[in-house]
Amino acid sequence: MTHLLCCTLLQTGYYTATGAGTHYSAGTLGMFVLIVVIGIAGYAVQARLQAVFRKYSKVQFPGGLTGAEVAEKMLRDNRIYNVKVTHVQGHLTDHFNPKTMTVNLSDSVYSSTSVAAAAVAAHECGHAVQHARAYAPLTLRSQLVPLVQFSSAAATWVIMLGLVLLATTQNELLCWIGVGMIGMSALFSIVTLPVEYNASARALEWLESSRTMQGVQLVQAREALSWAARTYLVAALSAIASVLYYVFLILGRRR
Give pTM, 2 decimals.
0.82
C-alpha pair distances (Å), 75 with each of 125, 146, 239: 7, 28, 33
CA distance linking residue 86 with residue 72, whole number of Å: 10
**pLDDT, the chain, mean:** 85
Total length of the chain:
255
pLDDT in tens, 219-250: 999 999 999 999 999 889 888 888 888 887 77
Q: Which long-range contacts (CB under 8 A, 24 or more apart) does 142-146 make?
A: 142/98, 144/184, 144/187, 144/188, 144/191, 145/188
- pLDDT for res 22: 46
- pLDDT for res 12: 44
Pairing of β 95-97 and β 84-87: unpaired
Q: Residue 15 above 60 pLDDT?
A: no
- pLDDT for res 171: 82
Q: Which helix (H) or strand (E) holds 218?
A: helix 215-252
From the candidates 69, 124, 196, 208, give the one annotated as an active-site residue.
124
Longest C-alpha distance within the chain, in Å?
A: 70
- pLDDT for res 99: 92
Q: Is 124 part of the annotated catalytic residue set?
A: yes
Would you say 217 and 62 are in contact if contact means Cβ atoms under 8 Å apart? Answer: yes
The DSSP code for 60 is B
**Segment 77-95 mean pLDDT:** 94
CA distance linking residue 161 with residue 169, whole number of Å: 12
Q: How confident is the model at residue 10 (pLDDT cuts 50, 70, 90)?
A: very low
| CA nearest neighbour of 33 among 244, 254, 253 | 244
CA distance linking residue 111 with residue 215, whole number of Å: 23
Pairing of β 102-105 and β 95-97: antiparallel
Q: Which helix (H) or strand (E) holds 119?
A: helix 115-132
